Structure 1
C-alpha cells in the first residue's frame, strides 16, 4: 500500500469523525434561539438510588415502597427493563462472624423488583440488621423512579417514625440541623454505589464557625459499601445546631443523616437544596408545638434574610422574627415556637434587601409535635421547586398530608394517586395554590385500594411550587410522624436538536 492510498484512507477517517461530531453538535447556521426551540425533553434511561441502613433497634420494623410514575407514551415496562435494589456491604465492624452483610441477605438478592410503571411495590422487614441498599432502574422504569423507606421504632432511642426517600448519588451534600449535642446521636450514612472506593470529607459548622476536628476529616467508603459515622466522634465540641458539609473528593456517594434524640424520638435529616438566595421550607404541620430553623451561609459574605410564614390565605411575618442575620461560615438558629398557631404553613426566606447583592444559603427546620414525654421530631430541608413532577411512594389510608406552597405567583398542580398489588383505580385531583400561600390537603386515594399507594405531583402552570408530604402513624400517645420533601424527580432531560453540518471541515 503506497503513501497516497494511506493518505486517502486517513482523510476519509478524519472526515467520518468530524461528520460524527457535527451530527451531535449541530451546525453554525442554527443560532442559539433556534437550537433552544428545537430542543426536546426525553425520559432518562437509567436511575440510581441509595437507601441507608434503617435501624439497629430490635423493636423496629421497616417498610420499603418503590414506584415509577406512568407517563404518556412511556411504554409499559417489561422486556429487559428492570428496577431493583440489592444489599450493600457493611463496614468491617458490622459484618457478622459468618461474613454476611448486616441482615444476612444474599449479596446479590434483589429487593423491591418493579415490573411496570404506575404500580407501587412494597416489602417489609423487622430485622435489626437490615442493610443499606443500592438500586438501579432502566428503560421505562427509570424516569421518576422513587423508593421510600419508613421505619417504626416502638421504644428506646429514636422511638417513633423515621422516614426517608432514597437518594441519588452525588458529590456534594449540605445538611442543616444536625447536632453533636449530648442529647443527640446523629449518624451520617455514606453509601458508595460504584466498584471503586470513594474518599469523602466531612466538615461541620456551628454558631461560632467550623468545629475543630479531632482527626482526619476524610472517610474512605469501599466500593459497593456503606459506612455510618457518628458525628460527635469527629470533634470534641458540642453544638446543638450544626451544618454538615459532605463532599466526595473522589467517586460519588449517597449521604443521609439519622438524628436520634433520647426524649423526642428522631428522624432522617434530608439534604438541603443547593445553596440559593431564596429558600422555601414546605409543610409545617398545623399542630407543631415547636419549630427550630437552622441556616448556614457557605460563601464569603454574610446573609441578611427576611423570614415569612406562608399560611392558608396569606404570608405573614412571624412575631419577633422578622429577619435573620447569618454570618459567613457560621450556623444561625432561631426558635420559632408554635409558629403555625393551628394552621398549616411553610417558611419562606428571601434577601432582606431586594435590590442589593444576595448571598446563597442552605437551611433546615426541626419540627416537633406533642408535649412532654410524648414528643416526636421530624426535619424539613430547604426544598427545590417542582419543575415537572415529584413523587411520595409510601402513603397510607390515613395519616398522609400533602403540603404545597407557591412562594411567588399562583400555581396549578395535578395530584395523582396510584395503588399497587392491592388493587384500586388511580385517582387525580387538580389544585390551585395562590401565590404566597400554603395548601395542605389529604391526597386523593385510589378507589378500592388496599395497603400503600403512591402520590405524584405534577406542576401544570403558573409560578414555582414546592411540596412535602407528612406521614403520621401515632403510637399510643406519641404523635409519630415523618416528613419527606418532594423535589423534582428529574425524570426527563433536555436533549438539543442535532443536525449534520460538513462546513466545519472548512474551519
Structure 2
C-alpha cells in the first residue's frame, strides 16, 4: 500500500476520534451517520508565555494559575488515549532580565507552585522576588487546557519602575499591536519577545509616530532563540527618539512569540501594555477608573485611508460625548493622540470609538493611558481596545478588596453570568447573572467567594443579547500611592470548532 494512502487513513482515523466517530461503521454493521453540523469541542492543549516581571531588586511578583470549570473534560488525545491533565510553567532559557543581577540571593520560585494545578475551579498561586525572576513558558493539557489562564501581578514599591504591574500571560502569535507606547526621555518602554517553541523565531518591530513610520535600525529580523526571551528597549531602535506617543507593531517572519510592552514613567509609575484588539472600525476600551485624574487616547490607522472617529463615554446611566473631545482624526499610517480631561467625573466608564460617518468605516487600533493620583503620588495603567467576549473569559488574581469588574454593552442589552471562583487558600465559588442595559457600563465590586481566603478568579460568560466587553481593575494602594492595574477580558478560546465530516472510502482505493 502506498505511503500516501496510509497517511490519509491515519488522518481520517484521527479526525473520526476527535469528532466522536471512532469507527467507519456502526455496531450493527450499517453505515455510520454523517456529521452534518459543525461541532465545538474543548481544546486539548493550551500554551501561554509570561515575560520577565521586573528588573527591580525590590519587586514582588505573584503568579496565579487557573482553569475555569464547565467546558467539558477536554481529556485524552485524538487517538482516544487518555492522559493525566497537566498545567505547567517552566523557565524560559536565557530569560534573566537585562539589568537584573539577582543580588537578593533568593532562588526564583515562579516555576514551582503554578505547575501544581490539578483540577479546574481553584486558583493556585506562587510568589517570586527580586530582579532575577525569569520569563516563563507553559502549557496545559486535558481537562486543565480549556480556558487556562495565568495572571502575573508585580508590586514595585520604590524606584524608577515604581508601581503595580499586571498582565495576563499571553498566547503566542505572529502579529501584535501596541498603541500608547513611547520613546520619550521620561519613559523606559521595553517590548518583551518570548519564544515558547523548540525552534527559533524571527521578529520584526515597526514604530509609528505622529508623522508616520519612524526611522529605525535593528528592527528587522530580530532573532528570538528557542525557549528564550528577548527584551528590546524601544528608544534604542530609532534615531527619532523622544516621541511621546508611539504605536508598536510586532510581527514574525518565522515562528511565533508572546509579546508585551513594559512601560515605566519616571514620574507617573509603571505597568504593562497588553496587545490591543485587531484593527477594526469600532473599538471599546473598558474599565476607566472613576477617580482617573488623566486619560489619554492613542490611536493608529494601519490602512490606506484616514479614520475619523466619534468619541463617546459609556457610563452606568448611558452614553455621553466628552466635553471638548467628541472626535479624533487619525491619518493613515500615523499615530494620533488626545487628552480627555475630567472624563469620568467620578463614575467608572468605558470609551467607545465609532466611525464619524458609518458609511466610511476605517480600521484602527487604540489604547488608553490612565493616571490616578496627583503630584508625587501618581500611578499609571494602560487599557487596550478589547474585543467582545464571545463565549467565556477569565481574569485571575482578584482580592477581597480592590477589585472592580466593568461590563459594557455598547449596542443591545445583554445578560452575562459572572462567577467568582473558590479562593486560592479556601472559599466557596459564587455566581451572579447581570443584565447590562444597552449603551451602559455595569460595575461590580461585591462579587466575592464565600469564606474567601487568598485570591480568586472572575469569569464572564455571555448568556443572551448584545455584545459585552469587560475589564478588571485591581487597586492596591501603598504608602499613599494609588497603585492600580487594569486587565481586559480576552475570550479564552476554550473550545475549538471541528468541521463537519463524512465518510469517503475512496481514500482506500
TM-score, normalisation: structure 2: 0.89
Q: How far apart, in 1, do the equivalents of 2:183 and 2:314 lie?
A: 31
Structure 1 residue corresponding to 2:314, chosen from 310, 325, 337: 310
Q: How far apart, in 1, do the equivalents of 2:490 and 2:427 lie?
A: 27
Q: How far apart, in 1, do the equivalents of 2:452 and 2:7 lie?
A: 60
The answer for the alignment partner of 2:41 in structure 1 is: 42
In structure 2, the CA distance between the partners of 1:60 and 1:109, relative to structure 1 (3 Å rule), is closer
Given the alignment of the two structures, is residue 368 of structure 1 paired with residue 371 of structure 2, yes or no?
Answer: yes
The answer for the alignment partner of 1:414 in structure 2 is: 417
Q: 1:95 Cα deviation (Å)? A: 10
Indicate the SS of the match to 1:140. Answer: helix
1:23 and 1:500 in contact (8 A); partners too: no
Indicate the SS of the match to 2:376. Answer: helix
2:71 and 2:494 in contact (8 A); partners too: no
Given the alignment of the two structures, is residue 163 of structure 1 paired with residue 162 of structure 2, yes or no?
Answer: no
Q: How far apart, in 1, do the equivalents of 2:123 and 2:55 lie?
A: 26
In structure 2, the CA distance between the partners of 1:300 and 1:97, relative to structure 1 (3 Å rule), is closer
The answer for the alignment partner of 1:343 in structure 2 is: 347
1:415 and 1:458 in contact (8 A); partners too: yes
1:19 and 1:502 in contact (8 A); partners too: no
Structure 2 residue corresponding to 1:242, chosen from 240, 246, 251: 246
Structure 2 residue corresponding to 1:270, chosen from 271, 274, 281: 274
1:22 and 1:501 in contact (8 A); partners too: no
Given the alignment of the two structures, is residue 288 of structure 1 paired with residue 292 of structure 2, yes or no?
Answer: yes
The answer for the alignment partner of 2:54 in structure 1 is: 55
Q: For residues 378-426 of structure 1, what are the alpha-carbon distances to aligned partners after superposition, in whole Å with 9 as ceiling and x for unaligned?
A: 0000001100111011001100000010111011111111124421111
In structure 2, the CA distance between the partners of 1:76 and 1:414, relative to structure 1 (3 Å rule), is farther
In structure 2, the CA distance between the partners of 1:19 and 1:89, relative to structure 1 (3 Å rule), is closer
Q: For residues 67-125 of structure 1, what are the alpha-carbon distances to aligned partners after superposition, in whole Å with 9 as ceiling and x for unaligned?
A: 00011643799962100101112268859999xxx975599867432111001001111
The answer for the alignment partner of 1:179 in structure 2 is: 182
1:18 and 1:505 in contact (8 A); partners too: no
Q: For residues 194-253 of structure 1, what are the alpha-carbon distances to aligned partners after superposition, in whole Å with 9 as ceiling and x for unaligned?
A: 111111101000001111113453311111000111100001212000000000111100
Indicate the SS of the match to 1:289. Answer: strand
Structure 1 residue corresponding to 2:227, chosen from 224, 249, 255: 224
Q: For residues 151-209 of structure 1, what are the alpha-carbon distances to aligned partners after superposition, in whole Å with 9 as ceiling and x for unaligned?
A: 01111112121100000000000000000000100001110001111111010000011
Q: How far apart, in 1, do the equivalents of 2:231 and 2:173 lie?
A: 17
Given the alignment of the two structures, is residue 437 of structure 1 paired with residue 440 of structure 2, yes or no?
Answer: yes
Indicate the SS of the match to 1:112. Answer: helix
The answer for the alignment partner of 1:127 in structure 2 is: 130
In structure 2, the CA distance between the partners of 1:397 and 1:38, relative to structure 1 (3 Å rule), is same
- Within a 5 Å distance, the mapping from 1:378-397 to structure 2 comes to 378-397=381-400
2:52 and 2:95 in contact (8 A); partners too: no
Indicate the SS of the match to 1:38. Answer: coil
Give the number of aligned pairs: 488
Q: 1:273 Cα deviation (Å)? A: 0.5
Given the alignment of the two structures, is residue 254 of structure 1 paired with residue 253 of structure 2, yes or no?
Answer: no
In structure 2, the CA distance between the partners of 1:178 and 1:96, relative to structure 1 (3 Å rule), is closer
Given the alignment of the two structures, is residue 138 of structure 1 paired with residue 137 of structure 2, yes or no?
Answer: no
Task: Return 5+ residue gaps in structure 2 as ranges.
Answer: 22-33, 77-81
In structure 2, the CA distance between the partners of 1:306 and 1:16, relative to structure 1 (3 Å rule), is closer
Q: How far apart, in 2, do the equivalents of 1:75 and 1:43 lie?
A: 5
Indicate the SS of the match to 1:150. Answer: strand
Structure 1 residue corresponding to 2:458, chosen from 448, 455, 458: 455
1:467 and 1:485 in contact (8 A); partners too: yes
1:87 and 1:105 in contact (8 A); partners too: no
1:74 and 1:140 in contact (8 A); partners too: yes
Given the alignment of the two structures, is residue 147 of structure 1 paired with residue 150 of structure 2, yes or no?
Answer: yes
1:269 and 1:381 in contact (8 A); partners too: yes
In structure 2, the CA distance between the partners of 1:36 and 1:415, relative to structure 1 (3 Å rule), is farther
In structure 2, the CA distance between the partners of 1:165 and 1:505, relative to structure 1 (3 Å rule), is same
Q: 1:337 Cα deviation (Å)? A: 1.6
1:395 and 1:454 in contact (8 A); partners too: yes
Indicate the SS of the match to 1:370. Answer: strand
Q: 1:126 Cα deviation (Å)? A: 1.5
Q: 1:497 Cα deviation (Å)? A: 2.6
Q: How far apart, in 2, do the equivalents of 1:19 and 1:226 lie?
A: 35
TM-score, normalisation: structure 1: 0.90
Task: Return 5+ residue gaps in structure 1 as ranges.
Answer: 1-8, 27-34
Q: 1:503 Cα deviation (Å)? A: 7.2
1:202 and 1:247 in contact (8 A); partners too: yes
The answer for the alignment partner of 1:64 in structure 2 is: 63
Q: How far apart, in 2, do the equivalents of 1:109 and 1:301 lie?
A: 49
The answer for the alignment partner of 1:353 in structure 2 is: 357
2:287 and 2:472 in contact (8 A); partners too: yes
The answer for the alignment partner of 2:407 in structure 1 is: 404
Q: How far apart, in 2, do the equivalents of 1:492 and 1:12 lie?
A: 31
Q: How far apart, in 1, do the equivalents of 2:442 and 2:140 lie?
A: 33
Given the alignment of the two structures, is residue 188 of structure 1 paired with residue 185 of structure 2, yes or no?
Answer: no
The answer for the alignment partner of 2:488 in structure 1 is: 485
Indicate the SS of the match to 2:143. Answer: helix
Q: How far apart, in 1, do the equivalents of 2:307 and 2:4 lie?
A: 59
Q: How far apart, in 2, do the equivalents of 1:380 and 1:467 lie?
A: 11
